[in-house]
Chain A
Amino acid sequence: MSEALFNHQTVDLRKSTIRDLNTVLQSEDVTGSWEVRHPDGRHSIAVGLTAPIDVTIEGQVGYYACGMNQRANLTIKGNAGPGVAENMMSGSVHVEGNASMAAGATGHGGLLVIDGDAGARCGISMKGIDIVVRGSVGHMSGFMAQSGALVVCGDAGEALGDSLYEAKIFVRGEVKSLGADCEEKTMTEEDLDILRNILEKSGITEYDATTFRRYGSGRRLYNFHVDNASAY
């Protein structure tokens, strides 16, 4: 990475490689705000970041953009491919367009906000991340989700929350069907507080928390029993 490029804190992916980009963004002394130009749908953009920097990606990204993020705050000004912000630990990722399948998969922390729709398996195996989708999510979203919250302002596809553990799912629109062991729960004051907090930090003011419904685990599949065999 050239000194000039470093000082401008702008990386043009038509002139630099993904390796160049990630090397500088992952460096120990990186600071400030960064702009990534011409991402052109490339994969593994801005992955494995550890510093509390701001990164704006000007366009569409491919697979695993912002994967395994720690502490950085990233904005994607376009659509995202599969596995955006996968296994995020902390920080935030904001997708201004739509996201493909497995958005926020296995995330352990941080906040993922998707302004558009998210594809299938949004929040699959999530482990503490909060995911907010302004639009709708595809089938099997929240599959085996362990903890954290999945907030869907639009509709949810088939088999929402299949084999859910302790993650909380909030949906404002229609749910096509619930997956195995996922059931609607009574929205408690504690749930409303959690939801309001997530909506607020996501910058969503147009929806009131009380207009959402909450879904969680029925906990009937937590231990093997023959009577539950038909659930699988």
Chain B
Amino acid sequence: MSESKNMPPRTVPRFSATFDPFTISEIQRSAATGIYDIRGAGTKRKLPHFDDLLFLGASISRYPLEGYRERCDTDVVLGTRFAKKPIHLKTPVTIAGMSFGALSAQAKEALGRGASAVGTSTTTGDGGMTPEERGHSSILVYQYLPSRYGMNPDDLRRADAIEVVVGQGAKPGGGGMLLGQKISPRVAKMRDLPEGIDQRSACRHPDWTGPDDLEIKIEELREITNWEKPIYVKVGASRPYYDVSLAVKAGADVIVLDGMQGGTAATQEVFIEHVGLPILSAIRSAVQALQDLDMHRKVQLIVSGGIRGGADMAKALALGADAVAIGTAALIALGDQNPDLAAEYAKLGTVPGAYDDWQEGRDPAGITTQDPELAARLDPILGGRRIANYLSVMTMEAQAIARACGKSHLHNLEPEDMVSLTLEAAAMTRIPLAGTEWYPGKTGF
């Protein structure tokens, strides 16, 4: 103590906002390994999001519906434009595409069980359709991806809808990855790849480029499936107005728009954090494109990327979407990030809530793994129940908001039911800033 008395006062350690601790650790890790960081999940940066919108609720000029007595319907029909057999979901929240390979068979089964219990759909992913997920999913959307791993016409015919994947929100313009730890014998066989390699999926489709080709490709898929299946086109949010317009032109029945908060099984950190748009900024442009083409509600719009609960779903619908899709939230509902697994996360150098090394295949929750022992930890029946519970809660939350706004169907929610809390949200959504009737770009204040 006597020493410190003799020392002059010193500044406390101050971290740089530019070279913050994470940035410094990334530079150090890059220098040590010579490889960019690859991880799962979506962007972790703070972005304008649905939290920046609020519903107004009813007042003298709007009257609400009675919460436990008056109906607020939730169903949605997808694929009404061209498909002979559109699909009918009881709730406008679906499970986004996630592959067997990225996820364990148990996780895929649980997602199918949960979604089926509440009358909604699940989606395959890169790697093809497994009998388990077809068997446990009453409505299954089959992804048609650039890699065409496991693609065969029998599965196309077994599907209830086909989703042509052009891109995804976590990596618009990027192909898939599945690192060697997860290329198990079964995954390798399904994808016709050697075991243990770092699998790279193509970023472009092998036999078409551009919207004119896409139109012909969609026609081929319809011809092979007797024009029965709704054809979705999924794009990562980057140029939503033009991408939606071109997808409509190409003949899509349904468009899936995925923001950068959407998860991935494995992608470069730099890609996840620096490419794409937050979903909040993309929805209004997509809806505008549909309206300009007189296709709003004729070509259905599904949005995804950071949907966490019924409020997010209600806001997306109020902005003009027909349905939402969830991926990361569904995995959390299954047991990802479970605090009970803190000790095991610690062994992986992380904590519950921050685990994102899904590419390593060592998930203690048994979800993002192909390790038989880890995967066996996930009970697909219990997992299915958790998914069903979560989807039900989302639906009830959205209904509660819709009733408060006086809406007898979730699709009756509209932009005028909301206000923006930030200038950014107001600019992106053209929803007026709270307390005003103004948004950036609108004359007058």
Interface residues of A (CB under 8 A from B): 18-19, 22-23, 26, 43-44, 47-48, 50, 62-64, 67-68, 70, 82-83, 86-87, 89, 101-102, 105-106, 108, 121, 124-125, 127-128, 143-144, 146-147, 163, 165-166, 222-226
A contact residues around B226 at 8 Å (CB): 23, 26
Selected A-B contacts with CB under 8 Å, 8 pairs: A18-B223, A43-B216, A44-B223, A47-B220, A89-B152, A125-B147, A127-B148, A166-B194
- Is the Cβ of B220 less than 8 Å from the Cβ of A44? yes
Q: Which of B201-209, B310-318, B320-328, B417-425 contacts A (4 or more CB under 8 A)?
A: B201-209
Given A83-B207, A166-B194, also A19-B227 (CB < 8 A): yes
Given A19-B227, A127-B192, also A68-B198 (CB < 8 A): no
User: Which chain B residue lies CB-closest to A50?
Assistant: B153
Interface SS of chain B: helix, strand, loop or mixed? loop
Most buried by A among B38, B217, B225: B217
B contact residues around A225 at 8 Å (CB): 35
B contact residues around A26 at 8 Å (CB): 224, 226
Given A63-B216, A68-B224, A224-B38, 12 more contacts at CB 8 Å?
Answer: A22-B224, A26-B226, A43-B216, A63-B208, A87-B148, A89-B153, A108-B151, A108-B152, A125-B206, A143-B206, A146-B193, A224-B35
A contact residues around B227 at 8 Å (CB): 19
- Is the Cβ of A105 less than 8 Å from the Cβ of B206? yes
CB distance from B258 to the nearest CB of A (A): 23
| A122-B227 Cα distance, complex, nearest whole Å | 29
| A50-B224 Cα distance, complex, nearest whole Å | 10
CB distance from B357 to the nearest CB of A (A): 15
**Any chain A CB within 8 A of the CB of B132?**
no
Q: Which of B33, B38, B154, B217 contacts A64 (CB 8 A)?
A: B217
A contact residues around B219 at 8 Å (CB): 43-44
Interface residues of B (CB under 8 A from A): 33-35, 38, 147-148, 151-154, 156, 179-180, 192-194, 196-198, 200, 202, 206-208, 213, 216-217, 219-220, 223-227
| A31-B223 Cα distance, complex, nearest whole Å | 20
- Is the Cβ of B223 less than 8 Å from the Cβ of A19? yes
- Is the Cβ of A22 less than 8 Å from the Cβ of B223? yes
- Is the Cβ of A224 less than 8 Å from the Cβ of B198? yes
- Is the Cβ of B197 less than 8 Å from the Cβ of A223? yes
User: Which chain B residue lies CB-closest to A84?
Assistant: B207
Given A87-B151, A224-B35, also A106-B206 (CB < 8 A): yes
- Is the Cβ of B194 less than 8 Å from the Cβ of A222? yes
- Is the Cβ of B198 less than 8 Å from the Cβ of A223? yes
- Is the Cβ of B153 less than 8 Å from the Cβ of A64? no
A contact residues around B152 at 8 Å (CB): 68, 87, 89, 108
| A23-B352 Cα distance, complex, nearest whole Å | 54
- Is the Cβ of A144 less than 8 Å from the Cβ of B202? yes
| A225-B33 Cα distance, complex, nearest whole Å | 9
B contact residues around A23 at 8 Å (CB): 226
CB distance from A42 to the nearest CB of B (A): 10
| A53-B198 Cα distance, complex, nearest whole Å | 40
- Is the Cβ of A102 less than 8 Å from the Cβ of B207? yes
A contact residues around B223 at 8 Å (CB): 18-19, 22, 44, 47-48
A contact residues around B156 at 8 Å (CB): 68
| A106-B153 Cα distance, complex, nearest whole Å | 12
User: Which chain A residue lies CB-closest to B152?
Assistant: A89
- Is the Cβ of A163 less than 8 Å from the Cβ of B220? no
B contact residues around A224 at 8 Å (CB): 35, 38, 179, 198
B contact residues around A67 at 8 Å (CB): 220, 224
- Is the Cβ of A226 less than 8 Å from the Cβ of B220? no
Given A68-B153, A70-B153, also A86-B207 (CB < 8 A): yes
Given A48-B224, A87-B148, also A63-B213 (CB < 8 A): yes
User: Which chain B residue lies CB-closest to A127?
Assistant: B192
- Is the Cβ of B202 less than 8 Å from the Cβ of A64? no
| A222-B207 Cα distance, complex, nearest whole Å | 24
